[in-house]
Chain A
């Protein structure tokens, strides 16, 4: 078990299985097909992301450095949340980028879903955590990897 301390951008508590993207997470490319074809598991459709491609994202603790790609990114994340296909939480090793922040905050303010979002967890977090590990997130931004 190891603990990492980050900054809660959207505070909350949750426990979920980790899904790790070592490279930047392209929000539009990742969600495009699942949103278009009503896939409730939100299977990642970004062919350029070997860590996530083909894996379900819904309900997972999404661990990532930052998001990349189109400025529709925040809106796409908001849509995923409003349709109940969002990750359990978003855990960023780096300071959050403006598109991801927009998505997390829009989901928090405009929907009833709980999607805690923590950033600045450090490079060590992303090196340590592996897909399938169980993660607990605390209100103060403490992330425990079991």
Chain B
């Protein structure tokens, strides 16, 4: 194969088939992928761990499992251990007989796929989460490291909050990068690709709801890089657990409602702190966000429930998975509100989702016992994959996640609204 990209002798040898046909195809895929975006060379993947988006053994994904079998047979395993998105099933989450039956059919390859993941390089049995970058999970890349990750919410967090470098890769491509140990150098890996082409000027009178702010930005800038001004007035200039949680949720909404892979927050995110307005391209467009604009975006969300006035059957909080501080804060808010209402338990079945390591840490806190007493269920499930079951998708389910709203029939509500609904038992 003739390449426009300049490859190292080792990469060229791999492409020529010296490490077998499977490795040659892996390299050919990466070369074609890079050349589609004008990459002139490969760069080494420098992070300790990878992260894969495909965590589900959907029976219809048979071609993917066959491909992975081919790789395993050829000894083409990941050169780095990796975490992976959350599991699609958890018995803790309520589901009826028919839903369970369909889950079994839909995810019939779950067990065998997890075996493949282990052989390929999965860190451990608890490595299933979209928030791999949280302290308890420990897949935390350093600033400037080159990653071969997929999962849009993790990629945008790693780029923006951690200052690592990763493109918005598709499933399989991210695995190929981890196998080959290199990725094509283009887009968000380059200094040029990390420059902002939008200035987002926040002029709201109060702290914007992270999930609506991210949605507004994503819908407006799509795949471009925004430089966000005016946010530190509300969330401060310190990257602590609270601001990281805010940025996690805002970023997930930018990546799912649009296709943002990197944002800069003036005075807060590492590259913005280091380079400031030098990150902004001279011809950058400006998007002003005030209270009215957030309201306009919020009102644009369609409600696709059959009966818009139905009482919610379920509430999901935690897409992306919750952090420890979020679990504690939600527990405190719920306790206070239920006390005010003179109630002991939530009135709508409510699921808080988080990674196993975060849930383990949470189970050692006093809030955990309070939360259980209030009737809230904790789970490591991916709520999106739960809702992908057509029988679950027919139910009226509410969420505070704009990502979950975008991909499923879930209806979005702000945190405050959710608190009222689940404690009072209706909208």
Return the 10 tightest CB-CB contacts between A and B, nearest first: A74-B170, A82-B63, A102-B170, A75-B171, A35-B60, A71-B150, A101-B36, A105-B32, A102-B173, A99-B170
Q: Are B36 and A103 in contact (CB under 8 A)?
A: no
Considering only residues 92-115 of chain A, those with a C-beta below 8 Å from chain B are 96-99, 101-103, 105-106, 108-111
> Given A98-B170, A110-B25, list of 15 further CB < 8 A pairs?
A68-B259, A69-B407, A70-B152, A70-B407, A72-B150, A79-B61, A97-B223, A98-B168, A98-B187, A99-B168, A101-B36, A102-B172, A105-B32, A106-B29, A109-B29
Complex Cα–Cα for A99 and B150 (A) = 10
| Option from B37, B54, B170 in Cβ contact (under 8 Å) with A103 | B170
Complex Cα–Cα for A69 and B33 (A) = 19
Considering only residues 233-279 of chain B, those with a C-beta below 8 Å from chain A are 256, 259
Q: Are A105 and B54 in contact (CB under 8 A)?
A: no
Question: Least Cβ distance of B325 to chain A in Å?
Answer: 26
Q: Are B170 and A9 in contact (CB under 8 A)?
A: no
Per DSSP, chain B at the interface is helix
Q: Does B354 contact A (CB under 8 A)?
A: no
Complex Cα–Cα for A134 and B32 (A) = 29
Interface residues, chain B, with chain A CB atoms under 8 Å away: 25, 28-29, 32-33, 36-37, 53-54, 58, 60-64, 66-67, 106, 150-152, 155, 167-173, 187, 223, 256, 259, 304, 388, 390, 407
Given A99-B170, A102-B33, are A75 and B61 also a contact pair (CB < 8 Å)?
yes
| Option from A36, A71, A101, A110 in Cβ contact (under 8 Å) with B37 | A101
Q: Are A105 and B168 in contact (CB under 8 A)?
A: no
Complex Cα–Cα for A78 and B176 (A) = 14
Q: How many residues of A contact B (CB 8 A)?
A: 36
CB-nearest residue of chain A to B389: A36
Complex Cα–Cα for A47 and B303 (A) = 12
Q: Are B304 and A75 in contact (CB under 8 A)?
A: no
| Option from A79, A98, A111 in Cβ contact (under 8 Å) with B60 | A79
Complex Cα–Cα for A99 and B37 (A) = 12
Considering only residues 80-98 of chain A, those with a C-beta below 8 Å from chain B are 82-83, 96-98
Q: Are B172 and A106 in contact (CB under 8 A)?
A: yes
Question: Least Cβ distance of A111 to chain B in Å?
Answer: 8
Q: Are A71 and B60 in contact (CB under 8 A)?
A: no
CB-nearest residue of chain B to A108: B32
A-B contact pairs, 29 of them (CB 8 A): A9-B36, A29-B407, A35-B58, A36-B58, A47-B304, A69-B256, A69-B407, A70-B256, A71-B168, A72-B150, A74-B171, A75-B171, A75-B172, A79-B63, A82-B66, A83-B62, A83-B63, A96-B36, A97-B223, A98-B167, A98-B170, A101-B37, A102-B33, A102-B173, A105-B32, A106-B172, A108-B32, A109-B32, A110-B29
Q: Hey, which chain A residues are within 8 Å of B167, CB to CB?
A: 98
Complex Cα–Cα for A106 and B388 (A) = 25
